[in-house]
Amino acid sequence: MLGRGLTAAAVAVVLDQTSKIALLQHFGETGCAPHREAVAPFLELVLTCNSGVSFGLFNRTGINGLIFALAAAAICIVLMVWLSRVRSTFLAVSIGLIIGGAIGNVLDRLRFGAVIDFLYFHIATWYWPAFNLADSAICIGVVAMLVDGLFLRRHSSPAEPGEDLSL
Protein backbone atom coordinates (compact mmCIF):
# COMPACT_ATOMS: atom_id res chain seq x y z
CA MET A 1 0.00 0.00 0.00
CA LEU A 2 3.00 2.27 0.46
CA GLY A 3 3.34 2.62 -3.31
CA ARG A 4 -0.29 3.64 -3.75
CA GLY A 5 -0.06 6.22 -1.00
CA LEU A 6 3.17 7.65 -2.38
CA THR A 7 1.63 7.76 -5.87
CA ALA A 8 -1.33 9.74 -4.49
CA ALA A 9 1.11 12.08 -2.74
CA ALA A 10 3.14 12.58 -5.92
CA VAL A 11 0.01 13.28 -8.00
CA ALA A 12 -1.18 15.83 -5.42
CA VAL A 13 2.20 17.62 -5.41
CA VAL A 14 2.45 17.68 -9.22
CA LEU A 15 -1.11 18.98 -9.70
CA ASP A 16 -0.67 21.59 -6.96
CA GLN A 17 2.68 22.90 -8.16
CA THR A 18 1.69 22.80 -11.84
CA SER A 19 -1.48 24.79 -11.12
CA LYS A 20 0.51 27.41 -9.21
CA ILE A 21 3.14 27.70 -11.95
CA ALA A 22 0.36 28.12 -14.54
CA LEU A 23 -1.31 30.78 -12.38
CA LEU A 24 1.93 32.72 -11.93
CA GLN A 25 2.54 32.58 -15.69
CA HIS A 26 -1.05 33.63 -16.39
CA PHE A 27 -0.66 36.72 -14.21
CA GLY A 28 2.93 37.33 -15.37
CA GLU A 29 4.32 37.08 -11.86
CA THR A 30 7.25 35.40 -10.16
CA GLY A 31 6.04 36.09 -6.64
CA CYS A 32 3.03 37.06 -4.62
CA ALA A 33 1.76 40.34 -6.07
CA PRO A 34 -2.03 40.35 -5.65
CA HIS A 35 -4.20 39.74 -8.72
CA ARG A 36 -7.88 38.99 -9.28
CA GLU A 37 -9.79 37.75 -12.32
CA ALA A 38 -13.44 36.69 -12.53
CA VAL A 39 -13.99 33.24 -14.04
CA ALA A 40 -17.67 32.78 -13.17
CA PRO A 41 -20.22 34.71 -11.08
CA PHE A 42 -19.21 32.58 -8.08
CA LEU A 43 -15.50 31.97 -8.79
CA GLU A 44 -12.46 34.19 -9.14
CA LEU A 45 -8.85 33.33 -9.79
CA VAL A 46 -6.81 35.33 -7.33
CA LEU A 47 -3.14 35.44 -6.55
CA THR A 48 -2.62 35.80 -2.86
CA CYS A 49 0.03 34.63 -0.43
CA ASN A 50 -1.08 33.03 2.78
CA SER A 51 1.42 33.05 5.61
CA GLY A 52 -0.96 30.98 7.75
CA VAL A 53 -2.40 27.53 7.12
CA SER A 54 -5.28 26.19 5.02
CA PHE A 55 -8.05 28.65 4.15
CA GLY A 56 -6.20 31.59 5.69
CA LEU A 57 -6.26 30.33 9.27
CA PHE A 58 -3.58 32.01 11.40
CA ASN A 59 -2.72 34.27 8.44
CA ARG A 60 -2.27 37.40 10.52
CA THR A 61 -0.87 35.97 13.73
CA GLY A 62 2.77 36.82 13.05
CA ILE A 63 3.79 33.18 13.45
CA ASN A 64 6.85 32.49 11.34
CA GLY A 65 6.12 30.40 8.23
CA LEU A 66 9.11 28.23 9.07
CA ILE A 67 7.22 26.98 12.12
CA PHE A 68 4.34 25.87 9.88
CA ALA A 69 6.78 24.23 7.46
CA LEU A 70 8.50 22.33 10.28
CA ALA A 71 5.16 21.27 11.74
CA ALA A 72 4.04 20.03 8.31
CA ALA A 73 7.31 18.12 7.90
CA ALA A 74 6.86 16.46 11.29
CA ILE A 75 3.27 15.52 10.45
CA CYS A 76 4.45 14.08 7.11
CA ILE A 77 6.99 11.90 8.90
CA VAL A 78 4.32 10.53 11.24
CA LEU A 79 1.98 9.95 8.29
CA MET A 80 4.75 8.18 6.34
CA VAL A 81 5.27 5.76 9.23
CA TRP A 82 1.52 5.15 9.36
CA LEU A 83 1.39 4.77 5.58
CA SER A 84 4.10 2.11 5.67
CA ARG A 85 1.83 -0.03 7.90
CA VAL A 86 -1.53 0.48 6.20
CA ARG A 87 -3.25 -2.48 4.52
CA SER A 88 -6.15 -0.60 2.93
CA THR A 89 -5.79 1.03 -0.49
CA PHE A 90 -8.47 3.59 0.41
CA LEU A 91 -6.65 4.61 3.60
CA ALA A 92 -3.26 4.61 1.85
CA VAL A 93 -4.53 6.99 -0.83
CA SER A 94 -6.16 9.17 1.85
CA ILE A 95 -2.91 9.47 3.77
CA GLY A 96 -1.03 10.05 0.51
CA LEU A 97 -3.29 12.98 -0.37
CA ILE A 98 -2.60 14.59 3.00
CA ILE A 99 1.15 14.08 2.61
CA GLY A 100 1.10 15.43 -0.95
CA GLY A 101 -0.92 18.49 0.02
CA ALA A 102 1.42 19.22 2.91
CA ILE A 103 4.48 18.86 0.68
CA GLY A 104 2.94 21.16 -1.96
CA ASN A 105 2.37 23.89 0.61
CA VAL A 106 5.81 23.42 2.19
CA LEU A 107 7.40 23.86 -1.25
CA ASP A 108 5.58 27.21 -1.53
CA ARG A 109 6.83 28.29 1.89
CA LEU A 110 10.38 27.45 0.90
CA ARG A 111 10.08 29.29 -2.44
CA PHE A 112 7.91 32.28 -1.55
CA GLY A 113 7.87 32.45 2.25
CA ALA A 114 4.12 31.82 2.12
CA VAL A 115 1.59 29.58 0.38
CA ILE A 116 0.05 30.66 -2.92
CA ASP A 117 -3.75 30.50 -2.83
CA PHE A 118 -5.79 31.13 -5.96
CA LEU A 119 -9.31 29.67 -5.87
CA TYR A 120 -11.85 32.10 -4.43
CA PHE A 121 -15.51 31.03 -4.26
CA HIS A 122 -18.29 33.44 -3.27
CA ILE A 123 -22.04 33.96 -3.61
CA ALA A 124 -23.49 37.38 -2.78
CA THR A 125 -21.99 38.28 0.61
CA TRP A 126 -20.92 34.71 1.45
CA TYR A 127 -17.36 33.72 0.58
CA TRP A 128 -14.88 30.96 1.25
CA PRO A 129 -11.28 32.03 1.88
CA ALA A 130 -8.95 31.53 -1.08
CA PHE A 131 -7.31 28.12 -1.24
CA ASN A 132 -5.27 25.91 -3.55
CA LEU A 133 -5.14 22.31 -4.77
CA ALA A 134 -2.83 21.28 -1.91
CA ASP A 135 -5.46 22.47 0.59
CA SER A 136 -8.06 20.49 -1.36
CA ALA A 137 -5.91 17.34 -1.29
CA ILE A 138 -5.47 17.66 2.48
CA CYS A 139 -9.22 18.14 3.05
CA ILE A 140 -10.19 15.27 0.73
CA GLY A 141 -7.63 13.04 2.46
CA VAL A 142 -8.93 13.92 5.93
CA VAL A 143 -12.58 13.38 4.93
CA ALA A 144 -11.65 10.06 3.29
CA MET A 145 -9.85 8.99 6.49
CA LEU A 146 -12.97 9.83 8.49
CA VAL A 147 -15.12 7.83 6.06
CA ASP A 148 -12.68 4.93 6.38
CA GLY A 149 -12.68 5.04 10.16
CA LEU A 150 -16.39 5.64 10.65
CA PHE A 151 -17.95 3.52 7.92
CA LEU A 152 -15.57 1.24 6.06
CA ARG A 153 -13.88 -0.37 9.06
CA ARG A 154 -17.20 -1.61 10.48
CA HIS A 155 -17.63 -3.93 7.54
CA SER A 156 -14.17 -5.46 7.76
CA SER A 157 -13.49 -8.79 9.38
CA PRO A 158 -13.29 -8.95 13.18
CA ALA A 159 -9.89 -8.43 14.72
CA GLU A 160 -7.79 -11.37 15.74
CA PRO A 161 -6.69 -11.45 19.39
CA GLY A 162 -3.73 -9.11 19.79
CA GLU A 163 -4.16 -7.57 16.30
CA ASP A 164 -3.30 -3.88 15.99
CA LEU A 165 -6.50 -2.22 14.75
CA SER A 166 -4.83 1.09 13.97
CA LEU A 167 -3.46 -0.30 10.73
- Nearest 5°: the CA angle 129, 28, 24 is 45
Compute the average pLDDT of residues 62-88: 85
In a domain, 166, yes or no: no
In a domain, 165, yes or no: no
Helix (H) or strand (E) holding 92: helix 89-112
Domain residues for the domain of 24 are 2-151
Compute the average pLDDT of residues 54-76: 69
In a domain, 44, yes or no: yes
Name the packing angle between helices 2-27 and 89-112 (round to 10°).
40
152 half-sphere exposure, CB direction, 13 A CA radius:
12
**Residue 51 to residues 24, 62, 102, 107, 141, Cα–Cα distance (Å):** 18, 8, 14, 13, 22
pLDDT greater at residue 87 or residue 68: 87
In a domain, 157, yes or no: no
Lowest mean pLDDT among 14-28, 43-57, 64-78, 135-149: 43-57
- 74-83 pLDDT, tens digit per residue, is 999 999 999 9
Is 117 known to be catalytic?
Answer: yes
In a domain, 6, yes or no: yes
Does the CA dihedral 4-143-126-64 come out positive or negative? Answer: negative
Burial category of 111 from C-beta neighbours within 10 Å (exposed 0-12, middle 13-18, buried 19 and up):
middle
pLDDT the model gives residue 31: 80
pLDDT at residue 59 tops 60: no
Which is nearest to 132 in space by CA: 115, 114, 149, 154? 115
pLDDT at residue 25 tops 80: yes
Among 16, 117, 148, 164, the active-site one is 117
Total structural domains within the chain:
1
In a domain, 42, yes or no: yes
**Model confidence, pTM:** 0.83
- 108-154 pLDDT, tens digit per residue, is 988 988 899 999 999 999 999 999 999 999 999 999 999 999 988 75
Is 135 known to be catalytic?
Answer: yes
pLDDT the model gives residue 56: 52
In a domain, 161, yes or no: no
